[in-house]
Amino acid sequence: MAQIYVARPRAEVLVNEFVRSVYNWMVVGLGLTGLVSYYVSTSPAILRLIYGNSLLFIGLIIAELALVFTISGMISRLSASSATFLFVLYSVLNGVTLSFIFLVYTRTSIVSTFFICAGTFLACSIYGWTTKRDLTSWGGFLVMGLIGIIIASVVNMFIRSSSMGLIISYIGVIVFVGLTAYDTQKLKNMALTQPAGLDAGVVRKGAILGALSLYLDFINLFLMLLRIFGSSRE
């Protein structure tokens, strides 16, 4: 029997390629962060350099924040290669500063929490992509929740309350679950509304920006879940 091939509309192909690019870059970022984090945690010399020098550690945090704001706020002025380099650099620096999790939590709990996070993230992404409900109204509420988490976390750095830390983690899970669905829907709308014939560099920058948003959602969701389910090293 002769096989019949049905060509997909070009718009659908472009959307699929864009979304695939976003998730590919997100996975690259997560992979780099994980590898660097594990490597740093196995090097006593690097650990002493980073955590033995508070100014260096604070400098790394500031550099990470600067990279996020640069990519998010100046994406239109950056070249595609520059945006990609900054995203990769951010992923590496984040791996350096997150190396502490291998010192605080057991590897078994880190791995199990990662899979819990991956499953949760996937479910939220699928919901954000398939729901007919407009999640735009969630944006303001989620941003306020995120600001509240940041303020509460800073306060808890001084009072060091374990119960407050746990409450912040549970609220954080709710906020980042919502942000994952919200950002996925934004990504879908971005993909569907991108005009045909758009320059490849512009498409790449859009993919990097989308990857950064989902990367941040995943990392923060993982850290909140780790504080809830993670087992401390003896």
Residue-wise pLDDT tens digits, 44-94 = 999 999 988 889 999 999 999 999 999 998 888 999 999 999 999 999 999
Q: Is the pLDDT assigned to residue 31 strictly greater than 50?
A: yes
The number of folded domains in the chain is 1
**Residue 3 in domain:** no
Would residue 4 count as lying in a domain?
no
The CA dihedral of 138, 19, 37, 96, to the nearest 10 degrees, is -70
Q: Residue 1: inside a domain, yes or no?
A: no
Is 63 in contact with 14 (CB distance < 8 Å)? no
The pTM score is 0.89
The average pLDDT across 187-214 equals 83
pLDDT in the model for residue 28: 96
Confirm whether 5 is domain-assigned.
no
Say whether 232 sits in a helix, a strand or coil.
strand
Domain of 95, in residue numbers: 10-229
Is 234 a member of any domain?
no
Query: Among 172, 183, 173, 171, which residue's Cα sits nearest to residue 209?
Result: 183
The number of residues in the chain equals 234
216-227 pLDDT, tens digit per residue, is 999 999 999 999
- Is 96 part of any domain? yes
Residue 18 to residue 10: CA distance in whole angstroms: 12
**What pLDDT, on the 0 to 100 scale, is given for residue 11?**
59
Q: What pLDDT is attached to residue 42?
A: 93
Which bin fits 160, alpha (ψ -120 to 50), beta or left (φ > 0)?
left
Q: Is residue 2 part of a domain?
A: no
